[in-house]
């Protein structure tokens, strides 16, 4: 069997960057042999993830939407960086912005996202607070392919996490984050190993 070259992955993040770091650290420790992280794209000025990526040895660029006349122009600027790095796929890791047609068109079924709820429950901002306010006893994390709608595309993987009556948004965020990190690495391993097959909205996992 010929060895496949690693998937050249661009990671997009807006803030703290714990999911991006979990991916980079899984690559370093050999848990993601099929992934080569080639670029970190950040859409916010002075986001901590920029420095953290550089410390991990991953080139990081800050591309600010307000520097461009339209969302299409902003995404075309990102695309130029992605082409420059010969990126094959994108992992959104706390990228707090809706991806538009330019990027989706350039990377069809090749953009993944992680969201801190069991989608389709609680899409959008503050999913953990939404879960607490709704009164659910179980929430979780979802890794999914990205389409044009918010937190909406075909679901790759979900993991559940309990919600306790005494939980605050902060305690629930803390319980969810390590599960996010684990789920993203698992999903990316399957994706880079060519083990995910789309059938409409359903994602079928092929055996190793
Ligand atoms: C994570 O909880 C991620 O799931 C969430 O933003 C946080 C980023 O944290 N993403 C979304 O809500 C996407 N809709 P991080 O910067 O530490 O990875």
> What is the structure's pLDDT at 4?
75
Question: 153 lies in a domain?
Answer: yes
- Asked if residue 99 has pLDDT above 70, the reply is yes
Question: 77 lies in a domain?
Answer: yes
* CATH number for 172: 3.40.50.170
Give how many domains the chain has, as a whole number. 1
**C-alpha–C-alpha distance, residues 131 and 117, integer Å:** 8
Atom of ligand 1 nearest to the CA of 177: 2
Question: 199 lies in a domain?
Answer: no
d(CA 1, ligand 1 centre) in Å:
37
Write the CA distances from 61 to 81, 96, 108, 150, integer angstroms: 9, 16, 23, 24
* Mean pLDDT rounded to a whole number for the chain: 97
Helices (H), the chain: 18-28, 48-55, 71-84, 101-106, 127-134, 169-192
- Average pLDDT on 180-204 reads 98
Ligand 1 and 95: CB distance under 6 A: no
Ligand 1 and 94: CB distance under 6 A: yes
**C-alpha–C-alpha distance, residues 167 and 136, integer Å:** 11
> What is the structure's pLDDT at 91?
99
Under 8 Å between Cβ of 83 and 76? no
Contacts for 176 with CB less than 8 Å, ≥ 6 apart: 116, 128, 139, 140, 141, 161
Question: 201 lies in a domain?
Answer: no
Give the confidence band of 1 by pLDDT, cuts at 50, 70, 90. Answer: very low
Specify burial of residue 41 (Cβ count, 10 A radius: 0-12, 13-18, 19+).
buried
Task: Supply the residues annotated as catalytic.
Answer: 115
Range of the domain at 38: 7-194
Question: 90 lies in a domain?
Answer: yes
- Asked if residue 163 has pLDDT above 80, the reply is yes
- Average pLDDT on 1-29 reads 92
Q: What is the pLDDT of residues 25-67, one digit of tens each?
A: 999 999 999 999 999 999 999 999 999 999 999 999 999 999 9
Ligand 1 and 17: CB distance under 6 A: yes
Question: 202 lies in a domain?
Answer: no
> What is the structure's pLDDT at 84?
98
> What is the structure's pLDDT at 208?
76
SS3 203: strand
First to last CA, the chain: 14
Write the CA distances from 151 to 26, 87, 122, 184, integer angstroms: 24, 22, 9, 15
- Asked if residue 81 has pLDDT above 90, the reply is yes
Rounded (10°) angle between helices 169-192 and 127-134 = 120
> What is the structure's pLDDT at 2?
43
Question: 204 lies in a domain?
Answer: no
CA dihedral sign, ordered 164, 167, 173, 174: negative
Give the confidence band of 92 by pLDDT, cuts at 50, 70, 90. Answer: very high
Question: 205 lies in a domain?
Answer: no
- Average pLDDT on 90-107 reads 98
- Average pLDDT on 67-85 reads 98
Ligand 1 and 43: CB distance under 6 A: no
What is the full DSSP assignment across 96-123?
A: -S---HHHHHHSTT-EEEEESS-TTSS-
DSSP letter at 65 equals G
- Asked if residue 3 has pLDDT above 80, the reply is no
């Amino acid at each position: 069997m010929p060895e496949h070259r690693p998937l050249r992955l661009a990671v997009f993040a807006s803030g703290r960057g714990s999911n991006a770091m979990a991916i980079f650290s899984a690559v370093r420790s050999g848990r993601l042999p099929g992934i080569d992280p080639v670029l970190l794209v950040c859409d916010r000025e002075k986001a901590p993830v920029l420095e953290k990526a550089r410390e991990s040895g991953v080139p990081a660029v800050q591309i600010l939407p307000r520097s461009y006349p339209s969302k299409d122009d902003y995404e075309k600027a990102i695309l130029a960086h992605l082409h420059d790095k010969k990126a094959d796929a994108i992992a959104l890791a706390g990228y707090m912005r809706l991806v538009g047609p330019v990027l989706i068109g350039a990377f069809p079924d090749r953009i993944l996202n992680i969201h801190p709820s069991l989608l389709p429950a609680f899409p959008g901002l503050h999913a953990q607070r939404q879960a607490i306010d709704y009164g659910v006893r179980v929430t979780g994390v979802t890794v999914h392919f990205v389409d044009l709608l918010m937190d909406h595309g075909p679901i790759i993987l979900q993991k559940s996490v309990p919600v306790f009556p005494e939980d605050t948004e902060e305690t629930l965020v803390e319980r969810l984050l390590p599960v996010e990190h684990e789920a993203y690495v698992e999903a990316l391993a399957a994706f880079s190993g060519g083990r995910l097959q789309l059938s409409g909205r359903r994602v079928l996992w092929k055996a190793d």
